[in-house]
Amino acid sequence: PVQFILGAKFYKGAYSAIKAFAGNMDLLVAIGTTAAWALSVWLWLTAEAGSMVHLYFEGSAVVITLVLLGKWLETRAKRQTTSAIRALHALRPDVAHLMGADGEVDVPVLEVMVGDTLAVRAGERIPVDGVVLQGESSVDESMLTGESLPVHKNEGVTLTGGSINGDGRLLMQVKAVGSETVLANIIRLVEDAQAGKAPIQRLVDQVSAIFVPVVLGIALLTLLGWWLTGHSFELALIRAVAVLVIACPCALGLATPTAIMAGTGVAAKFGILIKDAQALELAHKVNVVAFDKTGTLTVGKPRLTAFVLADTLADALVDNIADTSTDATQLLSLAASLQSGSEHPLARAVVDAAKARNLNIPAPDNVRAVPGRGSEGEVGVESFLIGSLRWMQELKVDMGTLATHATDMQAQGATVSAMAQRTTQGNTQNIKLKALMAFGDEPKPGAKETIAELKNRGIKTVMISGDNRGAAEAMARRLGLDPTAGEVMSEVLPGDKAALISKLKEGDKNVVLMVGDGVNDAPALAAADVGMAMSNGTDVAMHAAGITLMRGDPMLVAAALDISAKTVAKIRQNLFWAFAYNVAGIPLAALGYLNPVVAGAAMALSSVSVMSNALLLKRWKPKSK
Q: Are 389 and 406 in contact (CB under 8 A)?
A: yes
Exposure string over 56-76, b if 16+ CB within 10 A, otherwise e: bbbbbbbbbebbbbbbebbee
Largest CA distance in the chain: 124
Number of helices followed by number of strands (H, E) in the chain:
22, 23
Which residues have a catalytic role annotated? 292
User: Considering only CA atoms, which of 277, 295, 282, 250 is closest in space to residue 582?
Assistant: 250
Q: How many residues does the chain have?
A: 625
- Rounded Cα distance between 267 and 173, Å, is 47
Which residues make Cβ contacts (< 8 Å) with residue 230, sequence separation at least 6? none
Rg (CA), the chain: 33
* DSSP state letters, 340-389: TT---HHHHHHHHHHHHTT---PPPEEEEEETTTEEEEEETTEEEEEEEH
Residue 30 exposure: Cα atoms within 13 Å on the Cβ side: 19
The total of other beta-carbon atoms located within 10 Å of residue 49's CB is 4
Alpha carbon distance, N-terminus to C-terminus of the chain: 54
3-class state of residue 292 by DSSP: strand
What distance in Å separates the CA atoms of residue 105 and residue 192, rounded to the nearest whole number? 37
Nearest-angstrom CA–CA distance, 391 and 393: 5
Residue pair 151/139 in contact (Cβ under 8 Å)? The answer is yes
